[in-house]
């Protein structure tokens, strides 16, 4: 752990080995403390929280999904400011980040919010603020939560919600991750291409031919590979811009139904992000990671985390590994025929994860809803 990281974390009262109340900064992590208290209240001294919750009927349990980069939009957070502790979260975030995150989230400009260094912390905080809204409006959803998952940076929010790490530690890790990924993105012209294919589409073969094309252009060690598994026949491919342009130009050859460049700055979840590995791994060593109070599923393999060291290892590995979201959805919602599905709530900006869930598991999607983070018609002005 670098001296700079250690000092930064201790400055907010959440350094390695620090506990809540160690400094004047006593803001509890959103969701995590509430979950712990509610789960303890629901159990006896002889039983653990997960076992007690699991005995509830499946349709009375809940799953929380936390969105990732690309869901950001100017105005997010305005629909949350009336709820307890949300302004405290944004005030604490500004102290961690060194800039006014709430002002940026509410008023933009969109170009600034879209920068990787800004949008990842903005989505992280907005998602946890949405948990506060959900807890205020439907506390039973938090009490009955049995699992959580987050897409890419959303995984950090899911872990904070589940009590695996404190809010400020998680946000500082996201800050380091976002800035390192931004820097890695600027080193090589690269991007991400959303591809809707067909059953006969061979994504790996298409990526191979795109890499061969790049070699003819003189690009050394070209990158073009699947970075996100979204739902059947839908993938996001990351790599050098020349490779993605080749795939768009030859989409009919590979049976692509539709392609679209994503508004991101680089080839996330590929080896082009390797420069971001060490900064993130170092800061994660400083984070006091604990076992989640509810199951949290990893992007790297779709399975739930088993222990704190597992979390620290896979959170770093996630930066250069594909997001296996389709596999995560199968793991979350696998059940015997006739068993009811839990309620699913998307906490954070947008409804993208709901749309993916609908394509992965229509029956599970029928119990889906999202927590609105934008101001709705008739809401009073909630600006600071």
For residue 225, what are the β-bridge partners? 238
**Residue 17 pLDDT:** 28
Tokens found for residue 320? 């250069």
Question: What residue segments make up the domains of the chain, in order of their start?
Answer: 29-185+272-371, 189-265
Is pLDDT of 69 > 70? yes
Long-range Cβ pairs for the range 108-114 (8 Å, 24+)? 108/74, 109/74, 110/73, 110/74, 113/72, 113/73, 113/74, 114/72, 114/263
Is residue 322 a contact partner of residue 226, using CB atoms and an 8 Å limit?
Answer: yes
For residue 259, what are the β-bridge partners? 195
Domain 189-265 has CATH 3.50.80.10: no
**Residue 377 pLDDT:** 52
CA atoms within 13 A on the CB side of 241: 11
**Phi/psi at 249 (5° precision):** -65, -30
d(CA 376, CA 78): 9
Q: Which of 118, 269, 297, 298 is catalytic?
A: 269
Q: What is the pLDDT of residues 133-143, one digit of tens each?
A: 999 999 999 99
Is pLDDT of 357 > 50? yes
For residue 65, what are the β-bridge partners? 149, 346
* Identical fold between 29-185+272-371 and 189-265: no
Q: Which of 62, 105, 152, 265 is catalytic?
A: 152
d(CA 130, CA 348): 6
- The reply to whether omega before 109 is within 30° of 0 (cis) is yes
Whether residue 269 lies in the annotated active site: yes
Tokens found for residue 87? 């302004």
Q: What is the pLDDT of residues 302-355, one digit of tens each?
A: 999 999 999 999 999 999 999 999 999 999 999 888 889 999 999 999 999 999
The CATH number of the structural domain formed by 29-185+272-371 is: 3.40.366.10
Q: What is the pLDDT of residues 230-271, one digit of tens each?
A: 999 999 999 999 999 999 999 999 999 999 999 888 999 999
**Residue 384 pLDDT:** 53
For residue 295, what are the β-bridge partners? 147
**Residue 379 pLDDT:** 58
Reported as a pLDDT band with limits 50, 70 and 90, residue 15 is very low
Sign of CA dihedral 33, 35, 38, 40: negative
């Amino acid at each position: 752990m670098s001296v700079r990281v250690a000092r930064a974390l201790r400055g907010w009262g959440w350094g390695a080995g620090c506990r809540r109340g160690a400094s004047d900064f006593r803001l509890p992590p959103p969701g995590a403390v509430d979950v712990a208290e509610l789960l303890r209240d629901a159990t006896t001294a002889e039983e653990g929280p997960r076992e007690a919750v699991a005995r509830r009927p499946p349709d009375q349990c809940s799953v929380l999904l936390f969105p990732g980069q690309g869901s950001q939009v100017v105005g997010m957070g305005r629909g949350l400011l009336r709820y307890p502790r949300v302004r405290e979260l944004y005030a604490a975030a500004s102290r961690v980040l060194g800039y006014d995150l709430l002002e940026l989230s509410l008023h933009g400009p969109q170009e600034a919010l879209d920068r990787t260094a800004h949008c990842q912390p903005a989505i992280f905080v907005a998602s946890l603020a949405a948990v506060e809204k959900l807890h205020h409006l439907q506390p039973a959803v938090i009490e009955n939560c049995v699992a959580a998952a987050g897409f890419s940076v959303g995984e950090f929010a899911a872990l904070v919600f589940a009590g695996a790490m404190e809010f400020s530690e998680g946000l500082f890790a996201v800050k380091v991750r976002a800035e390192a990924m931004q820097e890695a993105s600027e080193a090589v012209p690269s991007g991400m291409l959303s591809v809707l294919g067909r059953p006969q589409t061979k994504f790996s073969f298409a990526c191979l031919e795109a890499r061969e094309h790049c070699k003819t252009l003189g690009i050394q060690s070209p990158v073009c590979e699947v970075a996100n598994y979204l739902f059947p026949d839908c993938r996001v491919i990351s790599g050098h811009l020349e490779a993605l342009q080749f795939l768009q130009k030859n989409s009919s050859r590979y049976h692509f139904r539709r392609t679209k460049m994503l508004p991101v700055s680089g080839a996330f979840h590929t080896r082009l992000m390797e420069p971001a590995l060490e900064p993130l791994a170092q800061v994660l060593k400083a984070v006091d990671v604990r076992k989640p109070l509810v199951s949290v599923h990893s992007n790297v393999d779709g399975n739930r985390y088993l222990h704190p060291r597992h979390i620290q290892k896979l959170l770093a590995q996630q930066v250069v590994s594909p997001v296996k979201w389709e596999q995560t959805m199968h793991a979350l919602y696998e059940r015997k025929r006739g068993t009811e599905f839990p309620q699913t709530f998307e906490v954070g900006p947008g409804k993208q994860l709901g749309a993916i869930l609908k394509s992965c598991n229509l029956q599970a999607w029928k119990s889906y809803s999202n927590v609105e983070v934008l101001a709705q018609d008739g809401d009073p002005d909630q600006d600071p």
